[in-house]
Amino acid sequence: MQKAVKRALVEGAWTTFKMAMTPPAVLPDMPRHEEFEKMTTPERIDRLHSLRVQRAQHMDTREVATKAFYATLTPSQRKVFDLETLEFLNPQRRMHWLRHFMHRGDPKQ
């Protein structure tokens, strides 16, 4: 019975984690240079601030979901998770992910 409850907890946390890690369907567009040329300096600052706030909100969602998922893992699962997520701190790995994210397709582009 306890294992079934634990499994349901992990599955629920996994679903939440997976949804939080999925990039939004519509990403906020960075204004093109031509658009920036038409803006005043305060307008550019406001636009960039708005983008930064949106990114921060998305990261906050990811942080909460990751911590909730991590809390459901066993100590041995946590070790595996720690090793796997450490890979994302590797600068080359981050660039691979960024290319994939920006192209929404083949990361080799």
Alpha-helical (H) ranges within the chain are 2-21, 33-38, 41-72, 75-86, 91-103
Overall pTM surpassing 0.75 (yes/no): no
pLDDT in the model for residue 46 = 94
In this predicted model, which residue has the larger pLDDT, 78 or 98? 78
9, 72 Cβ separation under 8 angstroms: yes
Question: Taking residues 48-56, what's their average pLDDT?
Answer: 89
Distances (CA, A) of 55 to 40, 61, 67, 96: 23, 10, 18, 19
